[in-house]
Amino acid sequence: MSEERVVRRSVANILGLLCVILAVVVAGVLAYYTTTINGKNFQISSLNSQVTNQQDQIGDLTSILNLNNSTIWVNGENVSSPANGYAVWSSTGIVIPYAGYVSVQVDSYSASLNNYVQMVWTSHELAFDYKEGFSNNGTMVFPILSTPNLEIDIGTVDHSTATFNVTITYYY
């Protein structure tokens, strides 16, 4: 009988030792996979952030492609043009990064009926110079490419001074 007890005690010791080893292995595996999962969660979060940034950029570029953006360069300013002359507005310090169009809204405070808006710019060896006439008031629309130099002349060909209220808007 004492032999049976010894066998049973040694079996119990071995089983106890195996349980301890198994518990240590399970704890190690658990720690390893917890660290791995946390790392993967961080990568997923980082990639989701990149996707959100890319979607925002796509939205911004789509808006530009559809000419949904605008910037008012001149808002209701009074401009005087000498007789047979013009007033100049230039884009000094303004970068025009995208193709689009420029709307020039002009209201005349003078009796002059022979007024005009002229737009001049160059871009990629292309020169644009176009003049459009109007009577008392009007809105002229001009195409524009990306350019660092733009000049808009507002004038009259009459023999008297003309005064205008001008709004210039860039759409891109």
DSSP string, 8-52: HHHHHHHHHHHHHHHHHHHHHHHHHHHHHHHHHHHHHHHHHHHHH
- pTM for this predicted structure: 0.73
Where are the chain's structural domains?
1-66, 70-171
Q: What angle do CA 71, 59, 96 make, to 5 degrees?
A: 30
Q: Which amino acid is at 60?
A: D
Six token digits for residue 108: 């005349």
Q: How confident is the model at residue 3 (pLDDT cuts 50, 70, 90)?
A: low
Q: Which CATH class is domain 70-171?
A: mainly beta
* pLDDT mean over 108-115: 79
pLDDT confidence band for 7 (50 / 70 / 90): low
